[in-house]
Amino acid sequence: MFFRMLRGALFRQKSKMIMIAITIALGASLATAMLNIMFDVGDKMNQELKTYGANITVVPKASSVLNGLYEMDEEDSSAYLKEEELGKIKTIFWAFNIVDFSPFVNTTATLNSKPVKTVGTWYNHHLALPTGEELDAGVTSLRSWWDIKDGKWIDEQNTDSDKVAMVGTVLAEREGVKAGDSITLSTSHGTETLTVSGIFDAGGDEDEQIYTTLAVAQRLSSKAGQLDSIEVSALTTPDNELAVKAAKEGPASLTPKEYETWYCTAYVSSICYQIQEVITDSVAAPVRQVADSEGNIMEKTELLMILITILSLLGSALGISNLVTASVMERSNEIGLMKAVGARDRQVTGLVLTEILITAIIGGAAGYLMGYGFAQIIGHTVFNSSIEMKPMVIPIVAVLIVIVTLIGSIPAIRMMQRLRPAEVLHGR
Chain residues 284-313 in contact with other proteins, contact rule CB under 8 A: 285-293, 296-297, 300-301, 303-305, 307-308, 311-312
Helix (H, G, I), strand (E, B) or coil at 3: helix
Contact range with other proteins by CB under 8 A, out of 83-91, 96-104, 110-118, 320-328: 320-328
Nearest Cα residue to 49 out of 230, 239, 284, 295: 295
CB of 64 to other proteins, least distance (A): 7
Is residue 417 a contact residue for other proteins (CB under 8 A)? no
CB 403 within 8 A of CB 316: no
**Contact between 316 and other proteins (CB under 8 A)?**
yes
Q: Restricting to residues 376-415, name those near other proteins by CB under 8 A.
A: 377-378, 381-383, 415
Q: How far is the CB of 28 from other proteins (least distance, A)?
A: 10
Minimum CB separation from other proteins for residue 412, in Å? 10
Binds other proteins (CB under 8 A): choice among 9, 17, 33, 401: 33
Instruction: Find the helix or strand (DSSP H, E) in which 78 lies.
Output: none
Q: Which of 171, 69, 72, 154 is nearest to 120 (CA)?
A: 154
The answer to whether the beta carbons of residues 169 and 204 sit under 8 Å apart is no
112 vs 144, which CB is nearer to other proteins? 144
Which residue number, 222 or 333, has a Cβ lying nearer to other proteins? 333
Q: Which stretch binds other proteins (CB under 8 A): 111-119, 224-232, 315-323, 352-360?
A: 315-323
Among 315, 386, 390, 392, binds other proteins (CB under 8 A): 315
- Can residue 261 be called a binding residue for other proteins (CB under 8 A)? no
- Single out the residue of 102, 124, 63, 76 nearest to residue 221, CA to CA: 76
User: What is the number of other CB atoms lying within 10 angstroms of the CB of residue 25?
Assistant: 25
Nearer to other proteins, 187 or 321 (CB): 321
For the CB of residue 102, give the shortest distance to other proteins in the complex, in Å: 15
Q: Which of these segments, 111-119, 186-194, 198-206, 389-397, binds other proteins (CB under 8 A)?
A: 198-206
Instruction: Give the residue, chosen from 322, 385, 386, 417, that forms a contact with other proteins under the rule CB under 8 A.
Output: 322
Among 144, 188, 386, 417, binds other proteins (CB under 8 A): 144
Q: Residue 285 burial by CB count (10 A; 0-12/13-18/19+): exposed, middle or buried? A: middle
Helix, strand, coil % in the chain, rounded to nearest 5: 60, 20, 25
Strand duo 164-168 + 182-187: pairing: unpaired
| Residue closer to other proteins, measured from CB, 57 or 282 | 57
Nearest to 119 by CA among 56, 55, 74: 74
As a whole number of angstroms, the distance between CA 211 and CA 188 comes to: 19
All residues at 6 or more sequence positions from 266 whose CB lies less than 8 Å from its CB, including other chains = 94, 97, 234, 235, 236, 237
CB of 265 to other proteins, least distance (A): 20
- For residue 424, state whether it binds other proteins (rule: CB under 8 A): no
Closest C-alpha among 238, 267, 280 to residue 89: 280
CB of 10 to other proteins, least distance (A): 17
Binding to other proteins (CB under 8 A) within 329-368 occurs at: 329-330
Candidates 93-101, 131-139, 257-265, 370-378; binding stretch for other proteins (CB under 8 A): 370-378
The C-alpha atoms of residue 397 and residue 355 are separated, in whole angstroms, by: 19
Provide the 10 A C-beta neighbour count for residue 43: 16
Strands (E), 263-406: 282-286
Contact pattern for other proteins over residues 70 through 109, marking x by CB under 8 A: ----------------------------------------
Name which of residues 44 to 63 contact other proteins (CB under 8 A).
45, 48-49, 51-53, 57
| Closer to other proteins by Cβ: residue 191 or 386 | 386
Q: What is the dihedral of CA 188, 190, 196, 201, to 10 degrees?
A: -30
- Which of 212, 218, 270, 325 is close enough to bind other proteins by CB under 8 A? 325
Q: Is 145 in the site for other proteins (CB under 8 A)?
A: yes
